A = this chain, B = another copy of it.
Amino acid sequence: MGKGVCTGMNCDRTRASGANGYCFDCVVHTWAFCAALAKLETLQSVVELQSEETLFMEGDRAVSFFTVLTGALRISKLLPDGRWQITGFVLPGEFVGLSAEETYVDYAEALTDASVCRFAMSDLRRIGAEYLEMGGQLLAMTNTILTRAREHMLLLGRMKAPEKLASFLVGLLNRAEATEQPTDPLALPMSRADIANYLGLTIETVSRTFTQLRSDAIIALPEHNLVRVVDGEALAQLAEG
């Protein structure tokens, strides 16, 4: 899994939030849960991550949670024998690291160079009374994540390889659209290995399936990490099962 480790709390690569310490000009301002809050700006700090760096590990004390500003993270769970499953990708404006436990229950690692905005759990509890609105926002966003998790279970349990890949691409397209990022050549921030793991497949099967979708003229692959949708109808069809 990841190489470097930066547990947020004690990482030296932190600095004041945004360009000048205010949320209102934060890159993800309009999508992130913290958008609702003016005073929150005093509570966070920005953490810079290099590609493959670990933000937190299972078992670490869950003292912080995070909003992704730029780049992307991967969330995964590990089996004792080394097998693991990526349970989600976290894109800009989305948050990660809330846990009902004292410690984190999964791993968060940077897929690319990334920056995240750190919040202290203790601050969350403290301001709860004042900034009730945020509690609601967090609950809503957690529910959104849960909904996505359940869709992913349907994918893992019941879909065939081409359906899985189509579904994955459609999901990425939707999220890119939602955060106003380019979709025509859609960028895949993750490797084939990450895609394969996320979909419960192997690298080889993902690769074969990519070439299959390409030869069926459903997508084009101008580069390994760029996808162009040729037949959106067929892709959506596949993605639906």
Interface residues of A (CB under 8 A from B): 75, 77, 79-81, 83-85, 87-88, 98-101, 105-106, 128-129, 132, 135-136, 138-147, 149-154, 156-159, 197, 199-200, 240-241
Contacts and interface: CB of A to CB of B under 8 A. Distances in A.
19 contacts: A79-B240, A81-B241, A83-B241, A84-B154, A87-B150, A87-B153, A98-B143, A100-B140, A100-B143, A100-B144, A101-B147, A105-B150, A128-B136, A132-B135, A142-B143, A146-B146, A146-B149, A149-B153, A157-B199
A170 to B, nearest CB: 14
Contacts of A153: 77, 85, 87, 149, 152-153, 156
A101 B75 CA distance: 24
Report copies per complex. 2
Contact of A106 (B101, B150, B241): B150
A206 to B, nearest CB: 13
A87 to B, nearest CB: 4
B241 A158 contact: no
Nearest to A98: B143
Between A81, A135, A144, A153, the greatest number of chain B beta carbons within 10 A of the residue's beta carbon is seen for A153
A85 B143 contact: no
B132 A99 contact: no
B156 A157 contact: yes
Nearest to A200: B157
A47 B77 CA distance: 37
Given A105-B150, A132-B129, A147-B101, A157 B241 contact: no
Contacts of A156: 153, 156-157, 200
B143 A240 contact: no
Given A145-B146, A147-B105, A79 B139 contact: no
B139 A83 contact: no
